[in-house]
Structure 1
Amino acid sequence: MLTVGIDVGGTSVRAGVVDSRGAVLDTTRTSTPSGGAPLEEAIAAAVTELAQRHEVSAVGLAVAGFVSEDQRTVRFAPHLAWRDAPVAEVMSQRLGMPVVLEHDANAAALAEHRFGAARGARVAVLVALGTGIGGALLVEGRLFRGAYGVAPELGHLRVVPGGRACPCGKQGCWERYCSGTALSATAEELMRRYPDAPTVLADGPAVTGRRVAGAAREGDPVAQRAMAELAKWLGEGLALVADVYDPEVVVIGGGVSESAPLFLDEARQRYASAVTGSGHRPLARIRTAQLGDDAGIVGAAALARDLAGATAAPRGRRTAVPGAS
C-alpha cells in the first residue's frame, strides 16, 4: 500500500509517495501560497501529480500548527491561513480518498519511532530544533496529543523567568535559548558584550544560526561560545523533559541537529548533571534523528496508511484521485 505524506510548512508544501517500510519513492514540491483556498489547491495538485505516477490510497498532512484531537481540523497555524478549518473533510472530498492531519513534530516523531532513531522505544520524545522548538511524545508507540490536541508544547517551557521575549507572549521560553533563532540572538549578544573579540560574524550578511554554526566549525571563538550556550540550554531543557516524562529515548531533530557534533556531547553532560536524581537513575539515550527533512512526510504517510487500513475498500477496488490516470 502506497500513501502520500505532505509536509505543509510556512514556505513550502513538500509531498512524497511512501511505502510501508518508510521509503520515499517520489516527491514534488511547491511554494506555500497565501490563503486557504489556494493552499488547498496546491495540495490537491501535488497529490494529483503523484497519483498519476503511483497508485496511492490515502493522504496525510503534517501541519505546523494545532490540530484537533480527532485529526480532522486545523485549529491554528501561525504561518498558514487555516483557522478552525475542517481541512481533512474538505481535502478528502476533493481528492476522493481518506485524509488525516497531524502536527508536524508529531508526524516526525512517529516516523522516527517506526523507522528511525526511536525505533522500539517504549517512551520517546522528539525535540525538533529549528526556528523554534517542536516537541512530540510517544508512549508505547502511541502519540500523546493531550486533551485538546496541542500537547506537548515543549518549546514554550519557561527556563529563564523574565528572559528573552517570545512571540507566544511569554518571556524566557526554552526555544528563545535553544534553537536556530536563539543561536543567532546569543551570538549578537556576545558581540555587543565583547566588542573587541575577533569574529568573522561581525562582517558580511546577517548573523543567522547557520552562519554561527559554520563559524563555530572553523574555530571562531564567539560562535563557539554561542554554541556552548545552546548546548547548556539544551541540556537544561532536556532535564526538565526527563523529570516530567522519563523517556527511554530523546531524538534531536530539526535543522539545527545537522550541527549536533558541535553541541550534543556537551548537552548530554549537562542533562546528566541537571536531571533530578542524577547518578541514581537510568538516563535517556539522546540521539540525532535519522530521517532528516523527510520525517514529517514519512510520518504523515504512515498515519494515512493506518487510516486507509481502517477504512479499506474491498480487495481489488482502487481509490484514486479523480482525473488521475
Structure 2
Amino acid sequence: MTAASVLALDLGGTSLRAAFAPIGDPAALENVGRWPAPTSLGVLADQVRNLLDSCFADTRPVGIGITIPGLVEGTVARWVPNLPFLDGVDLAAVLAPAGVPLAAGNDAQMALVAESDCGAAVGLDDALLLAIGTGIGSAVLSGGRILRGAHGGACSFGWASADVGDPGEDRSGWLERQAAGRALDRLGRGIGLEDGAALIEAARSGEAAALAAIGQVGTALGTALAGAVALLDPEAILIAGGVSDALDVLGPPVLEALRRQLPPHLRAIELRAGVFGPRAGLVGAAVAAGRGQDWWRRKE
C-alpha cells in the first residue's frame, strides 16, 4: 500500500464495508471486505484498527472516510436510527488511535459527492439523490455544493409524507416505511415471494401482483418526491443504493406519479441510476477522505 491511498468505510444499518483507493482516483476501489454492522463502539474501533494493520502494514493512509446512516455533524454522529449506540459519539475520538485524519458524513450525502465527483452527476450543479437500502437516505446538490442545513440533516426525504393520517414514528419516516428495502421485502412476502429482490424479478417477468406492488412503491416515491422537485428544481434525480438497478421496473411508476403532481415546466425531470450503485457510499467515503474537513464542497 502506498502513502497516497485512503481507506473508505461504508457503515450501514446491517453491514460494514471497507475498501482502499488512490487519493487521486477514488473510483478505483480495491475492496477489502464486508462484515455485519458492529454492535458497539469497541467492535467498530477494533475492526478499523485491524483493517489498518492488515492493509496498511508499512504506512498509514492519508485519510479515512466513513459514511454513517444518519445525522452527522462534523465527526459527531448525532442520531443513527439503525445503530443507536453511535448516537452522540465523536467518531474522530473513537478512531483517534488510528492516527489518521477522519472525514465522516451521512451516507447519502457522501454518495452524492461520489456521483458529482466522478459519476452520474458530473457536470450538474443541481441534483437530488435517493439512496434506497435498509432505509432511505437522501441528499441535494445545489449550486455545486451539498446542502447540509444548520445541523447537517437537510433534505431528509425518507421522512417525507404523502399521508396526512399517518401517525409517524420516532426512528422511521413515512417514505422509508412505504418504499425502502424492508417495504419491498414486506410486499414481496405478501404475495408469496421470498423478499424484495424476488419481487423485482417477478415484476420484470410481468407478474401482475408483483407489478402492482412495485407500482405502489413507485407511486409513494414519486408523490413524495414531487414536493422536493417543486421546491428545488433539480436537473436530475439520482437513485443509488441496492434498489438502483431496479429502475427498469420502478422508474415508470415513479415518473408517472412525479409528473402527475408537478406543473408543466417541471415535468421534464430526469430519473437516473447512480453510476456506482451500492458502491456509491464507498466511493464517496474515498472522495471525502481525500478532501478532508470540507469534503462536502465541490473541488474547484
Structure 2 length-normalised TM: 0.87
* CA displacement at 1:27 relative to structure 2: 2.2
Alignment of 1:222-237 (within 5 A): 222-237=209-224
Indicate the residue corresponding to 1:296 in structure 2.
Answer: 281
Residues 1:61 and 2:48 are matched in the alignment: no
* CA displacement at 1:26 relative to structure 2: 4.0
Q: Is the 8 A contact 1:166 1:176 kept in 2?
A: no
Distance in 2 (CA, whole Å) between partners of 1:283 and 1:35 is 46
Distance in 2 (CA, whole Å) between partners of 1:32 and 1:231 is 29
Alignment of 1:27-106 (within 5 A): 27-52=32-57, 56-68=61-73, 71-80=74-83, 81-91=85-95, 93-106=96-109
Distance in 2 (CA, whole Å) between partners of 1:309 and 1:167 is 30
Q: Is the 8 A contact 1:251 1:286 kept in 2?
A: yes
Structure of greater Rg: 1
The number of equivalent residue pairs is 289
Q: Structure 1 residues 121 and 309 mapped into 2: Cα distance closer, same or farther (>3 Å)?
A: closer
Distance in 1 (CA, whole Å) between partners of 2:241 and 2:115 is 12
Distance in 2 (CA, whole Å) between partners of 1:263 and 1:148 is 32
C-alpha deviations, 1:216-239, integer Å up to 9, x for none? 222322111101112222221221
Indicate the residue corresponding to 1:113 in structure 2.
Answer: 116
Indicate the residue corresponding to 2:139 in structure 1.
Answer: 136
Aligned letter for 1:131?
T
Indicate the residue corresponding to 1:274 in structure 2.
Answer: 261
Q: Is the 8 A contact 2:188 2:198 kept in 1?
A: no
Indicate the residue corresponding to 1:317 in structure 2.
Answer: none
Q: Structure 1 residues 44 and 308 mapped into 2: Cα distance closer, same or farther (>3 Å)?
A: farther
Alignment of 1:14-29 (within 5 A): 14-19=17-22, 20-21=24-25, 22-29=27-34
Aligned letter for 1:215?
A
Distance in 2 (CA, whole Å) between partners of 1:31 and 1:112 is 26
Q: Is the 8 A contact 2:244 2:277 kept in 1?
A: no
- Unaligned ranges ≥5, structure 2: 296-300
Q: Is the 8 A contact 1:13 1:43 kept in 2?
A: no
C-alpha deviations, 1:281-307, integer Å up to 9, x for none? 463321011102211111111111011
* CA displacement at 1:13 relative to structure 2: 1.6
Alignment of 1:174-323 (within 5 A): 174-186=175-187, 201-202=191-192, 207-275=194-262, 277-278=263-264, 280-281=265-266, 283-307=268-292
* CA displacement at 1:176 relative to structure 2: 2.2
Q: Is the 8 A contact 2:134 2:180 kept in 1?
A: yes
The SS at the match of 1:56 is coil
Distance in 2 (CA, whole Å) between partners of 1:164 and 1:157 is 13
Indicate the residue corresponding to 2:298 in structure 1.
Answer: none
The SS at the match of 2:30 is strand
Q: Is the 8 A contact 2:187 2:196 kept in 1?
A: no
* CA displacement at 1:97 relative to structure 2: 1.5
The SS at the match of 2:121 is coil
Q: Structure 1 residues 50 and 208 mapped into 2: Cα distance closer, same or farther (>3 Å)?
A: same
Q: Is the 8 A contact 1:28 1:46 kept in 2?
A: no
Residues 1:5 and 2:8 are matched in the alignment: yes
- Unaligned ranges ≥5, structure 1: 192-200, 311-325
Q: Structure 1 residues 257 and 55 mapped into 2: Cα distance closer, same or farther (>3 Å)?
A: same
Residues 1:150 and 2:153 are matched in the alignment: yes
Aligned letter for 1:72?
T
Determine what percentage of the aligned residue pairs are the same residue: 29
Distance in 2 (CA, whole Å) between partners of 1:223 and 1:248 is 31
Dislocated runs of 4+, deviation >6 Å: none
